[in-house]
């Protein structure tokens, strides 16, 4: 019962912990992240709304695996946690792979990166 | 019509890529143009969610209406559409994030 709900909560918690304990990109504290997430959710409602609409569902959910709460239209609320984890994990890894301006720049990148990625904002700072 | 219907899910994913493409070239998101960094973000994400999906399908948490999917499946009964979803949606998210960053930088 509520297995999807439980799995979604666990995965969201795992992604957040992974950031706080391991990656420490600082992404979750930035305005850009929350604005981007809000925009993504608007589009997610459209895409997910289509996939889950009960009139002609592409994806069908087992009633026992979820809370049964669906909003808006027929989107299972669990999908918002799923989407959060999917988007946030990719964004965290993306930032974790960002060239580090502060440490690396001084050492050797001074005359190399200029053409490839101008003005990469420094990340990873625990702002 | 029935044949087109089986591509509903895949077409929806293609639409997502198409709609977000201007973020790369108009807003200067530079996600597609950093393929190694993109792969670094995608590979672990796709693996984690594919594993979750395979487990959820096996446990019967969700299933797919055969009318709206191609029927092509990967190991673990994973529809190709789902794999596409785990690639496309993060790309859309990264494009959005980077576009928002460019806009905030410019606004400064």
Of A20-24, A102-106, B94-98, give the lowest mean pLDDT range: A102-106
Answer yes or no: do A33 and B97 touch at CB < 8 A: yes
Q: Write down the pLDDT at residue A122.
A: 52
Which of A5, A49, A94, A97 to mutate: most B Cβ within 10 Å?
Answer: A94
Question: pLDDT, tens digit, for every residue of B7-28?
Answer: 999 999 999 999 999 999 999 9
Question: Residue holding tokens 């997430």?
Answer: A37
Question: pLDDT, tens digit, for every residue of A68-125?
Answer: 899 999 999 999 999 999 999 999 999 999 987 655 444 544 444 444 444 455 554 4
The whole model's pTM is what? 0.87
Of A61, A62, A90, the CB nearest to B94: A90
ipTM of this complex prediction, to 2 decimal places: 0.96
Closest chain A CA to residue B7 = A58
Measured CA to CA in angstroms, residue A36 lies from A22, A80, B91 at distances of: 23, 15, 12
Q: What is the phi/psi pair of residue B72, to 5°? A: -75, 130
Q: Is the peptide bond before A72 cis (omega within 30 degrees of 0)?
A: yes
Question: 3-class secondary structure for B59-89?
Answer: CCCEEECCCCCCCCEECCCEEHHHHHHHHHH
Q: How confident is the model at residue A29 (pLDDT cuts 50, 70, 90)?
A: very high
State how far residue B41 is from chain A, nearest Cα, in angstroms.
5
State how far residue B42 is from chain A, nearest Cα, in angstroms.
6
Q: Write down the pLDDT at residue A87.
A: 98
What burial class does residue B32 get, using C-beta atoms within 10 Å of its C-beta: 0-12 exposed, 13-18 middle, 19+ buried? middle
The residue ranges of every structural domain in chain B are: 2-107
């Amino acid at each position: 019962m509520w297995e999807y709900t439980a799995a979604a909560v666990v995965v969201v918690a795992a992604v957040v912990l992974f950031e706080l304990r391991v990656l420490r990109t600082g992404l979750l504290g930035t305005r850009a992240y929350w604005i981007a997430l809000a925009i993504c959710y608007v589009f997610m409602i459209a895409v997910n709304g289509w996939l889950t609409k009960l009139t002609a569902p592409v994806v069908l959910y087992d009633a026992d695996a979820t809370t049964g709460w669906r909003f808006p239209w027929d989107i299972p609320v669990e999908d918002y946690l799923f989407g959060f984890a999917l988007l946030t994990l990719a964004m965290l890894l993306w930032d974790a792979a960002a060239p580090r301006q502060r440490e690396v720049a001084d050492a050797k990148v001074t005359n190399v990166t200029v053409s490839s990625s101008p003005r990469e904002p420094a990340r990873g700072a625990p702002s | 019509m029935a044949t087109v219907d089986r591509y509903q899910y895949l077409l929806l994913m293609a639409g997502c890529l198409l709609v977000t493409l201007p973020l790369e070239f108009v807003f200067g998101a530079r996600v597609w143009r950093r393929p190694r960094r993109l792969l670094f973000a995608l590979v672990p994400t796709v693996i984690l969610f594919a594993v979750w999906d395979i487990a959820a399908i096996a446990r019967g948490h969700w299933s797919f209406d055969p009318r709206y999917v191609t029927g092509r499946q990967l190991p673990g009964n994973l529809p190709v559409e789902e794999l596409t979803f785990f690639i496309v949606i993060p790309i859309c998210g990264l494009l959005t994030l980077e576009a928002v960053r460019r806009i905030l930088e410019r606004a400064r």
